[in-house]
Structure 1
Amino acid sequence: MTGAGGPAPTPAGAAGGGHGIVDAADAGAFLARLVRLDRDAPVRLRPTGVAGRTALWGHLPWGVLVVRTVAGDGPGDVTVGAGELLAELAAGGGALPRRRDERWRWPLPPPTSRRVETLPAGELRRIAAAAAGTLRDAAAHGVAGRAVGQRALRDALLDHVPVVVTPDDPPGEPVEVTQRMVQGLVRMGFLGTAGEAAGAAGAGDVQVRTVGRWVGLVGPYGAIWSQKATDLAVRPL
């Protein structure tokens, strides 16, 4: 993989082979949610380094990465259309759709990260529901009596930081968890259902993880990753 997250060389024999996914229902659920949020979404299949497991990467319209690991030895590092792969799985086929490696334009986080906090899934569900309620109320009644454009309102809510974590060991800079990440975790179904989370102690916990400029939310059924904005400064020459 290149430093910019571009497609890595495909292992010999991967091109023209099958998709290698064993659990079609598991992968299909991830792909269906991805396509529901972006009909033309690409999905990147990548080896995890663990035999029999493949990572499916996607990019949501509001700028966060999503990943779910599924059973099966995939075809290497390959990008295809999420809708095309979903259709192939639904039909019970094993062929890999036409490669679209040029459509993947986003860097990926490094494979090793550090846990800085654990959050209860119920709290993240509450945060996501509160944001949705605020959006509905503002769309209907405006803000402070003034109408606000739907796009501007949505972007303002997504940029809101509802959770700030300060690492204790070792002490470090506060880690901001944006509404973009929370919404991605909920909309992709990575928290499971409330009933599943209540079935076992800690089953619904979500880890806040960091590596470099990346912040991740790792839930029971998948993870969200977001790259912190680079600070830009303009100085006179």
Structure 2
Amino acid sequence: MSTPVRLMLADAGEAADLAAFLVRLLRFDRAAAVRLQAVRSAGSGGAEAVAEPESGAAASGSGVLAVFGRLPLGSSGALAIRTARLAELGGPADLTVSAGQLLESVDEQANTVLVPAAVTGPAWAGLLPPRTGWRLLAEPPAFEVFPELMAAVREFKERSGAVPEHHRTRSVLDGLADEIWSRPLTAAPELPLRAVHAAYVMGFLRPAVPLTVHGAGAWLRLSAPAGSVAVRSAAAPGAGLGLSPLR
């Protein structure tokens, strides 16, 4: 049996942020799985080799850990991505694990993560955004994005609440979620509101944070300092229940 990989995070802040990311993900899916990629830094390109070209997550240190988790938003989904700086890398890692087990393995006092055993991954885990080839599409101001998102959140709440309980099925809620979250963002029409909503529920989107939108092939990515959300312009594999927006 192989020895578990222990990852040393750069500091307590990285451990706390990773734990918070996993807590939010598990809030929507207690059985969630996440795809992990841990690689050594190569100059300033550590994060570029994993997920986020503009992120500072690997500007220093010996490696970077990227955690990918899927949020269901209607019949399509969005990938939430969180990177963490590594002070030490016991060995490279690329596997799918239980999000709950990963959360339990985060030691905020020791600043370490003991990578749990791999699980059979869902279909989305085999189809991640590309590592390179991203081009900047837009830099939407958060003060414009946030009110539009909040209006959509209110609409979802009002319309889903108005559906009679005996008609409030998974397919009905998925259809409503698809209608609302597939709309283009006014400040960046390439990007669906689905990506903005996912960034919000994961705690990445706040009223004053800098935002960028990048594209690469069929993928689009909304990035903020705390993390990124990636969506495919075509329907992603798998389906999920529309999320009830946070307050």
TM over 0.5: yes
Distance change >3 Å, CA 19–CA 99, structure 1 → 2: farther
Secondary structure of the residue aligned to 1:45 is: strand
Matched, 1:108 2:128: yes
Q: Aligned partners of 1:124 and 1:90: how far apart in 2?
A: 35
Match of 2:139 among 94, 109, 118: 118
Matched, 1:180 2:194: yes
Match of 2:233 among 224, 228, 231: 228
Secondary structure of the residue aligned to 2:220 is: strand
* Residue equivalent to 1:47: 38
Q: Aligned partners of 2:100 and 2:179: how far apart in 1?
A: 30
* Residue equivalent to 1:190: 204
* Residue equivalent to 1:69: 83
Distance change >3 Å, CA 94–CA 210, structure 1 → 2: closer
Indicate the larger mover: 63-72 or 86-95: 86-95
* Residue equivalent to 1:218: 223
Shift of 1:150: 3.3
Distance change >3 Å, CA 91–CA 24, structure 1 → 2: closer
Matched, 1:163 2:180: no
Contact 1:115 1:210 in 2 (8 A): yes
Over the residues paired in the alignment, what is the CA RMSD in angstroms?
2.6
The count of residues paired between Structure 1 and Structure 2 equals: 195
Matched, 1:206 2:211: yes
Secondary structure of the residue aligned to 1:139 is: helix
Indicate the larger mover: 26-35 or 151-160: 151-160
Q: 1:81 is matched by which residue type in structure 2?
A: S
Shift of 1:218: 0.9
Shift of 1:130: 0.7
Contact 1:14 1:76 in 2 (8 A): no
Determine which structure has greater relative contact order: mean sequence separation of CA pairs < 8 Å that are 6+ residues apart, divided by chain length: 2
Matched, 1:154 2:165: no
Find the structure with the greater CA-based Rg: 1
Q: Aligned partners of 2:79 and 2:19: how far apart in 1?
A: 18
Contact 1:44 1:104 in 2 (8 A): no
Match of 2:106 among 66, 69, 89: 89
Question: Which ranges in structure 1 are unaligned for 5 or more consecutive residues?
Answer: 1-12, 166-174, 198-203, 231-237
Q: Aligned partners of 1:19 and 1:60: how far apart in 2?
A: 25
Q: Tell me the percent identity.
A: 32
Shift of 1:104: 4.3
Distance change >3 Å, CA 105–CA 94, structure 1 → 2: same
Secondary structure of the residue aligned to 1:205 is: coil
Shift of 1:78: 2.0
Match of 1:58 among 59, 66, 69: 69
Distance change >3 Å, CA 31–CA 38, structure 1 → 2: same
* Residue equivalent to 2:5: 17
**Normalization by structure 2: what TM-score?**
0.70
Q: Deviations along 1:19-45, whole A, 9 cap, x unmatched?
A: 444532121011111111211111122
